[in-house]
Amino acid sequence: MNRGFRGVVSVVVLTTLIFLIDRSIALGQIPGIGTLSQEVLWSDFFGVDSRALGMGNTGIALGNDGSALVYNPANLARIKRIELRGGLSHLRLSNDTRYGIGGVDLNDGRKLSKTQVNALSVVVPVPTYRGSLVVAFGLHRINSFDRAFGATYAEAGGMDFADRERVLETGGVWKWSGAAAVDISPRLSAGLSLHLLTGGDDYRWHLQNDAISDPITENQVIKISYVGVAATGGISYAVSKHVTAGLTIETPTWIAADETQTFDSTTAASDSIWYDNSVSSYSITRPFVFGLGLAGTFDRFNLAADMRYTDWTQMGFSYDDPAFAVDESDALQFIQDNLKEVVSLQLGGEFLIPEQGLTLRAGYFRDPLPVDGKFIDKERQYFTAGVGLLIDRIMTLDVAYVHGGFKLRDADPGMYTAEYKTRRLYATFGYRI
């Protein structure tokens, strides 16, 4: 495998460099539009808590549980009792693709289902003479790379030349966090989380070329492990009795990646097999993320709105081996030419029924893909719903459902499209001593 291929695929898989590739390029170098799922994008925040997700993934101003380690560490200062918290997530992903050229219209796709542990945390308030001091530790799955993709291509005018592409990908990124929060004044709290990121990605691509004269089968396996560091600082301010504002800043995240790659190509007619193996190491620097949240707390209603800003043109990428200097330069140029700054918006609310210890939730969030709009047919957006149950005043069970997706196209609208529909179910258990 040449260095250019390795460099481009590495960046595509690990960062937000998503784009639709012409089939002639895909066959020889890059595994086609299968790379275009948000599940492999570092820009996709998977969500870590059922209450927050039930309210549109909000948590900057309203969160008062262990998920504050991720959303806004300042909110930890509100917790007055020791809390243990854990959660599970279930993902159902459906992929539908269309390829049309010269009167040929081919539809394909794949489905994937995954159930995994999603969050574990412990929060411990420290006795103080005045105000609040709270420390917390947690493990949260912040990105999911689980994905399936299927597409069928044919040459214009017939089926003499057909390619069937399949992608299966598993993995994700975890945040190991330690945090502390204090009350600076009766209305102002501040907190800091330090994060260690670990994870892995197992990407498997298969292409079956059914040309009559000489069918070809190609397979590619990319395995990547990562480790990274970051920090999140936040404040929470009680604007009034009913309104709270939150502000967060996540530092640039530095991530080191080690990748191994195997590629083989088998030609049926000549019975020949070509193998290639490669190893590379590189680092990625994600940009600052700025967050602002507002929450209104009333008798039986809680409302929340969050906004996050990220300038993805500030993404950094660097190979450890100076021999890849040309590939590194190409990747950085692609970032400048094709990525953009984005603002995500999260909205949600909940209605409390204290007589039954029940809470009903609903929300919406729009999380734009950080890539040039010519590749986007429908932006990434989700609708959410949830329910919370208080059990004997010491235990909570929160459940959330997330439904949505997005649709991508090539730069020449109408030839290739890839649509992803996501359904996620979350269950979070909490226990306070």
Residue pLDDT, tens place only, 267-306 = 876 666 777 788 888 888 889 999 999 999 998 999 999 9
Measured CA to CA, the distance from residue 109 to residue 177 in angstroms comes to 37
Measured CA to CA, the distance from residue 354 to residue 300 in angstroms comes to 8
What are the Cα distances from residue 4, in Å, to 14, 27, 341? 16, 15, 26
Three-state SS at 10: helix
**Which of 371 and 309 is assigned the larger pLDDT?**
309
Q: What is the pTM of this model?
A: 0.87
Measured CA to CA, the distance from residue 159 to residue 318 in angstroms comes to 42
Three-state SS at 142: strand
Measured CA to CA, the distance from residue 338 to residue 286 in angstroms comes to 16
Looking at residue 339, the DSSP 8-state letter turns out to be: B
Residue 3 parent element (H or E):
helix 3-14
Three-state SS at 126: strand
At residue 412 the predicted structure's pLDDT band, cuts being 50, 70 and 90, is low
Residue 405 clears pLDDT 80, i.e. is over it: yes
At residue 216 the predicted structure's pLDDT band, cuts being 50, 70 and 90, is confident
> Among candidates 99, 206, 107, which has minimal Cα distance to 156?
99
At residue 14 the predicted structure's pLDDT band, cuts being 50, 70 and 90, is very low
Three-state SS at 410: coil
Please give the CATH number for the structural domain made up of 3-432: 2.40.160.60
Residue 325 parent element (H or E):
helix 325-338
The DSSP bridge partners found for residue 65 are: none
**Which of 321 and 27 is assigned the larger pLDDT?**
321
